[in-house]
Amino acid sequence: MNFTERLRDVQRNRTSLLCVGLDTDRGKLPASLRAYEDPIFEFNRRIIEATHDLVCAYKINLAFYEVTGEHGWRTVHRTLSVIPKEIVTIGDAKRGDIGNSSAMYAQALAQDYGFTASTVNPYMGFDSVEPFLARPEQGAFILAVTSNPGARDFQYAKIDGRPLYERVIKKARAWNRSKNIGLVVGATRPKEMHTIRQMVPDMPILIPGIGAQGGDLKAAVRYGCDRNGELGIINASRSVIFSSSGDDFAEAARAAAVKLRDEINQYRDTYF
């Protein structure tokens, strides 16, 4: 089963397009977790326990783990080990290097950690992305239009009248022989999302930028999904996991995730 089918399956089985981003900032953990040997893991474990029936995916932003130094690797590993197997796991690493180096990153993310999918930066072109495509059942989300202000610096540069990100998408489409490529398109870009979904009717789109970044949820669902109201993956990180800073953080995260999943599903009912 290729990655696209796998994603579709889990979204149907769970009636959810929600992805919870485990951007677990160690500076924001409740004080009561400090006693644990690995507070970040303990936080993640409880968030996963409280939300796993509500999501199609978890996204782990590696930046938040690398910054913890020596124990980051183990924390990621332990976190992945408590996520039910059916759920898609996205290693949000935004890697990309020359072929032989990218092969090492792909091995670290897809084989050693065992993420179902990774995010990849397209700037260095095909041989930097290729190692992430080796297994049809594992996916690569290529950065197209990102949610941050800096996206304007290069992604919108006009090539023959069309923005650079459209060239990235056209290449991604051409490289997608195993149906395991997806795109990253920020929820802060609703108009672009509309055009992009028309360019790639059957490709998964990972949509960050809801919540703290102020993205447009309705447009993300309406334009980010395929014709069946699927294959859009709506990510929320801070707005879910740090919904409460107290000891009720897991219950609060669950409440925020239920609310978001249901809101997404209402928009799906409206538009599909």
Known catalytic residues are: 94
Residue with Cβ nearer its own copies (11 or 102)? 102
User: Would you tell me which residues interact with its own copies (CB under 8 A)?
Assistant: 23, 61, 63-64, 66-67, 69-70, 72-74, 77, 94-99, 101-102, 104-105, 107-108, 112, 121-129, 143, 146-155, 157-160, 164, 167-168, 171, 213
Please say whether the beta carbons of 219 and 187 come within 8 A. yes
Is 96 or 139 the residue whose CB approaches its own copies more closely? Answer: 96
CB nearer its own copies, residue 82 or residue 98: 98
CB of 127 to its own copies, least distance (A): 4
Residue among 235, 231, 222 at smallest CA distance from 266: 222
DSSP 82-134: TS-TTSEEEEEEEE--SHHHHHHHHIIIIIII--SEEEE--TT-HHHHGGGGS
Shortest separation between residue 94's beta carbon and its own copies, angstroms: 6
Residue with tokens 């910054």: 67
Whole-angstrom distance, CA of residue 117 vs CA of residue 140:
5
- Calculate the CA 151 to chain-centre distance: 17
Please report how close the Cβ of residue 192 comes to its own copies at its closest, in angstroms: 15
